[in-house]
A and B are shown apart, each in its own frame.
Chain A
């Protein structure tokens, strides 16, 4: 098997005609990367401008007379970033249903019973009872949990945010609940990002300091075999999938 390589169209090519360069596997295509980038930037802005309301009083005093301007820019940024995020979410829904790549994403992201077994097996692997990690498909249970949290969190925060933006129309009770939920859900989302996601992309030993997939969209073959072994096998067996998921370094 080592002597033969698979060309893009799926035919086996003899070694002498092998195209040079490493093989990379696509994790995020262009549209997905753009969505992620916009969403990430918006998230950062929202978190910072949002939590500016919760900093202690003596820190606010450092702003001095510029405090008023700071506050008005903060409000503007927060609402702008929120609007952009909501629009990206709408685009994402459109993408999921009306684009082929999006439909593939949706199908792969749906939770399956396999994920439960994978979670159990992975835990057993972590505590060294199993010697080999389970074989993951394109999206493992970690990604699905994170995606689910994203959907839920963004929805809740956006809806309560819009309620707060249009305060005067609601009863005070609703506004109170919206305030509380908006803040608490934001905290939950922050924690999910900081503890879960940032670990995944910054602190995994082989990824430190930064996993570049969000910019390039690809991972190399070794990592593919290690992390997403099942998906790798599926790709190798199916020429159609190869067209989608393999990129060559030129």
Chain B
């Protein structure tokens, strides 16, 4: 017993000694180098022009924008902590982790918010991207391949699931997306066939080692189902012949009415001053808008 205590005592003393020596070094001598460096740094900074002093922050480096850009920030609200991605200058709390779509191979290259160019369309396009797969709009099926069959697939597993709208999930929080089915040889099949997916993933894996010509070839093949002109807004937001079979996809009548209502159609057609009246509420209490 005594031996154990004395051994512990010795080990303890050695540990404390080491810790203390490190601290002592830092406090006594460590700061000299630091101070010198700080002095030099101050002088260098003083020599920069005003613009240069500012520019450092705005420099777009890969490190800062991409690697550190996924920084999560903790918002302390006293009674709970919201953890969400950091968004510069964003005021509204988000507290919603948008689960990425892991099973759609378009997103693997193009990202989850791909629309960026056309000012009028980009935000809307991205908005729909949370519950409509890329292929639904960007693959305009023709002739024999064309079907009116669409199904919901789960964002994480990729498997077909029941319609979240029917299940009563609140809009905006669906974990599934709509995807088209094509008819090949009389059979219905998902448009992201295993072959297409595998081809795309193989391309991604080998991208670094391919030549320019090989890359162009592969990209043409991957994109050959993409139509030149995608379905635009009117294709679905119309009463006569919408592309999406909303009722089959599980949308209740009042939601279908909202989607194909005059206001929405009018907004799309005109892009001018308009007002969305309160009638466009998305719960059971709403009445269908008057024609």
Contact = CB atoms under 8 A, between A and B. Distances in A.
A binds B: yes
Contact of B24 (A48, A191, A209, A210): A191
Given A187-B28, A191-B24, A209 B16 contact: no
Contacts of B225: none
A209 B6 contact: yes
Interface string B22-52: 0110111000000000000000000000000
Contacts of B267: none
Contacts of A194: 17, 20-21
Give the size range of B's interface with the partner.
10 to 19
Interface in A185-214: 187, 190-191, 194, 198, 202, 209-210
A198 B17 contact: yes
Interface centre among B13, B17, B23 (most CB of A within 10 A): B23
Given A190-B20, A194-B17, A198-B17, A210 B10 contact: yes
A51 B16 CA distance: 11
Nearest to A187: B24
Give the size range of A's interface with the partner.
10 to 19
A230 B134 CA distance: 98
A10 interface: no
B16 to A, nearest CB: 7
Nearest to B28: A187
A133 interface: no
A194 B17 CA distance: 7
Given A187-B27, A187-B28, A47 B20 contact: yes
Nearest to B12: A44
A4 B56 CA distance: 90
A48 B28 contact: no
A183 B13 CA distance: 21
A184 interface: yes
A37 to B, nearest CB: 14
A154 B46 CA distance: 45
B275 to A, nearest CB: 52
A131 interface: no
A187 B6 CA distance: 26
B173 to A, nearest CB: 33
A55 interface: yes
Nearest to A209: B10
B86 to A, nearest CB: 20
B45 to A, nearest CB: 24
A121 B19 CA distance: 36
B10 A190 contact: no
Nearest to A183: B27
B141 to A, nearest CB: 57
A54 B6 contact: no
Contacts of A198: 13, 17
Interface in A4-55: 47-48, 51, 54-55
Interface of B: 6, 9-10, 13, 16-17, 19-21, 23-24, 26-28
12 contacts: A51-B23, A54-B26, A183-B27, A187-B27, A194-B21, A198-B13, A198-B17, A202-B10, A202-B13, A209-B10, A210-B9, A210-B10
